[in-house]
Amino acid sequence: MSALPQTPPAVPRINPDRLWASLMELARLGATPKGGVCRLALTDLDRQGRDRVVGWLREAGCEIRVDAIGNVFGIRAGQRGNGLDGQGPAARPCADPAGLPVAIGSHVDTQPTGGRFDGNYGVLAGVEVIRALNDAGLQTARPICVAIWTNEEGTRFTPVMMGSGVYAGAFPLDHCLAQVDREGIRVDRALADIGYAGTDTAPRFAAYFEPHIEQGPVLEAEGITIGAVEGALGQRWFDATVTGQDAHAGPTPLPMRRDALLAAARMVQMVRTIAAEAPDYARGTVGQLFVHPNSRNVIPGRVEFTVDLRNARDETLDAMVGKLQAEAARIASEERVEIDLREVVYFPPCAFDPQLVAGIERHAARLGYPVRRLASGAGHDAVYVARTCPTAMIFVPCEGGISHNEIENAQPADIAAGAAVLLGAVLDAAAR
C-alpha cells in the first residue's frame, strides 16, 4: 500500500501582534516613568530580561548555550543538525560549513534612560522568525540561532559591544572578565550573580543578521520603510587642546590677543566643513568643549575639545583627518596659539556582505516596502560579528530619529515590516 502524500508546510509568516506584544512585555522589565527602559548590563533586571527571552526560546524548541562572557545562543535545529559537533559544554562548532547556523541577534541591555526598541527589537525579531517557522511546520536546511550579546551599550562596563567583541576575538576574554563598574564589581562576578557565567563554546555562523531601529532620521524623513545597511562608519576620535594666553578682557587690544577660544571656535566650524565637503556618509562632530579659566572678563588661555570624524571608507576618513591637521596648523599660525591633536580612538569602517544586503533589498521589494541603502553611523554588535561571517543589518524608522532616550518610539507596522524582510532573507541564507 502506497504511503499517503505528505501535506507540504505552510508559508511562514510573521505575526505582527505577537512580535509587538513580546516587545512591550520585555519593555516592562526596567520600565521608566517616561515610557523608556533602564536595564543595565549584568544587573538583576538584565537577568530578568535574559530569562524572559530564554524562556520564549525554550518554548519555541531551541537549545540554549551560554558562553564565558555571558552571550546567549538559542539554536533551532535544521535538517543538517544543530550547528554543533558533540553534546553539552564540550560541543564544538560544526566542522562542516554546510551545517553552521544562520544567526539573528542584538542585545537586551539598555542605556540608563534607554528606549523599548534599541537592541530588543533585533533579539525579538529573531524569536519571531523562529516562532513563524514553527507555526508553518518548516524545518530549514541550516539551523537558526538567536544571539543575545552581553553589554552592548557599555554603560556599566567598558568596552562597549563587549560580548560580540570577545566572540569575534577583538577583546581578550580575561581582560573583559576583569573589568569593574563604579562600585568595583567585576564582570565575572556580575555574570555569576545573575546566573549567566557560561561554560559553553559559542557556535559559529554561516551568516548573521541584525535588525534595528535606524537611530537616525533618514528613513522617516524620506518615507522609507526598510534600510538595507551597507556597512558601519569608521570612526576616528581626537582630544584637542588649544593653548593661548590668559589676559584681561578690557585692556588687551584685539590684534594683540592669543585667544584660545576664538581658535577653538574656528576649529569647531572647520570640523563641520570638512564633513560637509567629504563623500561616503561623512560625519564630523565636536561634542565636548572646556574653556579655561572660564571667567567672564578673561580672554581664555586654554580650551580643550573633542573631535569625532566618521566615514564609510578608510581612504576618505584618512583624507578628512589630513585636512583637520592642516587646518589646525593654519588656524594656530593665524591666531598665534598652539593646537595639539591627539588621536584616542580608531574604529575601521565595516562593509557588510553585498549578497546579504542585496537579498534584503530584494525581499523588501517583493513585499512592497520602500527600501534604500544607507550606512550605520552608530556601532553595533554586527560590526564585530562581521569579522567572523557574512553579515548584514536591517533598519526600520524610528520617530524623529530619536534613540538612547526614553521617548524612543517606532510604529508597529514598521517593526513588522522589518521582521518580514528578515524572515525572507534568513530563509534564503538557511537554504544554502
Report the percent of the chain where pLDDT is more than 70. 98
Alpha carbon distance 199, 211 (integer Å): 28
Q: Which residue has the higher pLDDT, 1 or 345?
A: 345
With contact defined as beta carbons under 8 Å apart, do 147 and 105 qualify? yes
Q: Which three cell numbers stand for residue 199?
A: 561554560
* Mean pLDDT, residues 7-25: 91
Query: Chain-wide mean pLDDT for the chain?
Result: 96
Q: What sign does the dihedral 214-73-190-168 (CA atoms) show?
A: negative
Contact of 352 with 249, CB cutoff 8 Å: no
Q: pLDDT by residue (tens digit) across 160-219?
A: 999 999 999 999 999 999 999 999 999 999 999 999 999 999 999 999 999 999 999 999
Average pLDDT over residues 12-27: 98
pLDDT greater than 90 at residue 5: no
For residue 4, pLDDT over 80 is answered with no
pTM for this structure? 0.92
| Cβ neighbour number for residue 35 with a 10 Å cutoff | 13
Contact 396, 125 (CB under 8 A): no
Instruction: Name residue 123's beta-bridge partners.
Output: none
Give the pLDDT confidence of 318-365 residue by residue, as tens digits. 999 999 999 999 999 999 999 999 999 999 999 999 999 999 999 999
- Confidence label for 89 from pLDDT (cuts 50, 70 and 90): confident
Confidence of residue 123 (pLDDT cuts 50, 70, 90): very high
pLDDT in tens, 358-384: 999 999 999 999 999 999 999 999 999
Residue 229: beta bridge partners?
Answer: 374, 393
When pLDDT is averaged across residues 395-404 and rounded to a whole number, the result is 97
Task: Answer yes or no: is pLDDT of 1 > 50.
Answer: no
Q: Distance of alpha carbon 224 from its chain centroid, rounded?
A: 20
The tens digit of pLDDT for each residue in 223-262 reads 999 999 999 999 999 999 999 999 999 999 999 999 999 9
Whole-number pLDDT of residue 6: 58
Which pLDDT belongs to residue 3? Answer: 52
Binning pLDDT at 50, 70 and 90, where does residue 90 land?
confident
Average pLDDT over every residue of 50-76 = 98
> Roughly what angle, to the nearest 10 degrees, separates helices 120-136 and 44-59?
20
What domains lie within the chain, and their CATH numbers?
A: 16-232+349-430 (3.40.630.10), 234-347 (3.30.70.360)
Q: What is the pLDDT of residue 88?
A: 86
Strand 302-311 and strand 234-243: the pairing is antiparallel
Residue range 271-279: mean pLDDT, rounded: 98
